[in-house]
Structure 1
Amino acid sequence: MLYLQSITILRAATTTDEYGNEKASWADPLRIPVSGVNVQPAAGSDEDTDDKQLTVTGWRLYTPRGMDLDLRETDRVEAEGTVMQVVGKVARWPAPGGGVHHIEADLREVD
């Protein structure tokens, strides 16, 4: 009953700048739909008031046992109409006997 949510993984396209360097472009990202996951608020939020009022809310993505995702630390996740950045490495918990038991990923929504 916990894994009833659907998300969309957003992956930036790669473009080349005038110097020949590859960089991410979020103008038209690849959209990868995923269902059967759980996204929950993480404990607390941060406020950054150095330059402007900014509230950063944390979220946590979980998959059920046996489900691995092609989710990268450079991706974004859209859930419930909110776009969030993946924060850090995606944790892939090993299953006894091999494979992935489940994954967990920290997400950050910035308002």
Structure 2
Amino acid sequence: MSALYEQSGVIVRPAASTDRYGNAKRDYGAAADRIAITQINVQPAGGSTEDTDDKQVTVTGYLLVSAPGTMPDFRETDRLEVDGMTLEVTGRVGRWPVPAGVRHIEARLKEVT
């Protein structure tokens, strides 16, 4: 394995629940599934933005790339806990299965602090 893909983290897959009005919602709390993920690389990507009008909010972009030859089950509704951060998926998870090229996934993520 390349030194680029030595990071690991935890996928937080939400449980389905409903709010008090009966609307479906995602529950990332205690009911969520927690799945280990290895052989990934998470790097800053897309820069950061700040909003200081009402309160201090910083949104930082990241890119997750799995090691060549891997296809982890990572979904658009999942979150990723890695290096002390909780990151949300923005957009769709890109999948490159064989024979279209080198087998791997890519996902754009964001951290809101």
Q: TM-score, normalised by structure 1?
A: 0.87
SS at match of 1:39: strand
- Partner Cα separation in structure 1 for residue 84 and residue 110 of structure 2: 14
Maintained 8 Å contact 1:42/1:58: yes
Structure 1 residue 15: deviation in Å? 1.2
Residue of 60, 65, 73 corresponding to 1:57? 60
**Residue 32 (structure 2) pairs with residue 21 (structure 1):** no
Structure 1 residue 48: deviation in Å? 2.1
Structure 1 unaligned blocks of 5 or more: none
Let me know the Cα RMSD of the aligned residues.
1.8
**Residue 24 (structure 2) pairs with residue 34 (structure 1):** no
After TM superposition, the structure 1 stretch with the greater mean CA deviation from structure 2, 11-20 or 84-93, is 11-20
- Partner Cα separation in structure 2 for residue 63 and residue 108 of structure 1: 17
Identity %: 54
Change (3 A) 1:18 1:44: closer
Aligned length: 110
After TM superposition, the structure 1 stretch with the greater mean CA deviation from structure 2, 48-57 or 82-91, is 48-57
After TM superposition, the structure 1 stretch with the greater mean CA deviation from structure 2, 3-12 or 41-50, is 41-50
- Partner Cα separation in structure 2 for residue 55 and residue 14 of structure 1: 28
The structure carrying a bigger strand percent of its residues is 1
- Code of the aligned partner of 1:25: D
Q: TM-score, normalised by structure 2?
A: 0.86
**Residue 48 (structure 2) pairs with residue 45 (structure 1):** yes
Structure 1 residue 76: deviation in Å? 0.4
After TM superposition, the structure 1 stretch with the greater mean CA deviation from structure 2, 51-60 or 21-30, is 21-30
Change (3 A) 1:100 1:18: farther
Q: Which residue of 1 aligns with 2:109?
A: 107
